[in-house]
Structure 1
Amino acid sequence: MTLQPPGEYHRDLIRLADLTLHTDVLENYRFVDCTLVGPAVVVPLNGTEILHCRWDGDLGAVLWAIDVERPAVIGAIGLSNCQLIGCTLQRVGLAVPASQVDEISRGFTA
């Protein structure tokens, strides 16, 4: 896979760390039917959509609850205005506000 600027990836195998060499936030990316590989923890921001994706791993291990009082998260990959559609995420955690864990759990496919 050749790294590209923000844009679309289709049916690619992508190591998330390769996209974050110079930034902690991926903006305006669209991943369709890709395999996204960690180790990584992603934080959805600013309108990011995650639709029909499969997460490898136990729900309790994948979801990371963030206290709403916490001002920042260091070491995670922010996804801003991104779309993940039909992707498989391997060795990738999902950090979300603690108040949203139950809602997200209901739509979770592992």
Structure 2
Amino acid sequence: MSPTIDDGAESLTSQSVEHLTTREPFKGCNAGHTFLPVDPHALASICKVGRDEQINLMTEGARGLSRLGAIADRLMLRTGGCTGCLLSEKCSVCRPLAQRYQEAKALLRSYCRHGQKGSAA
């Protein structure tokens, strides 16, 4: 997984400078709208990365899933370290993944256009 599953700072192959590739800009996804993961504790989230807000299916039941689309839309907003970014339309990762990279203190160039040469704001 990238970044590491426990948000550690150790570098994975996919984060090493030699293995970084230029990705296409992120154009959105249907996470939380057309698919969802549920963990072994019956907690549903928008995707395997965006788990900040979860729906407890044991207490809310399937009706709680009706809130998942709004949660997905909220988690995809450019917030935190990405608020007001002038390069956001060229960003190559979704906001939940960018947040994981930021929490792991990953190199900016591994997930953000600001860390790449020739990227003027």
TM-score normalised by structure 2 residue count: 0.24
Q: Larger helix proportion, structure 1 or 2? A: 2
Greater Rg over alpha carbons, structure: 2
Could you say which structure has the greater relative contact order, defined with CA pairs below 8 angstroms and 6 or more residues apart? Answer: 1
TM-score normalised by structure 1 residue count: 0.26
Q: Larger strand proportion, structure 1 or 2? A: 1
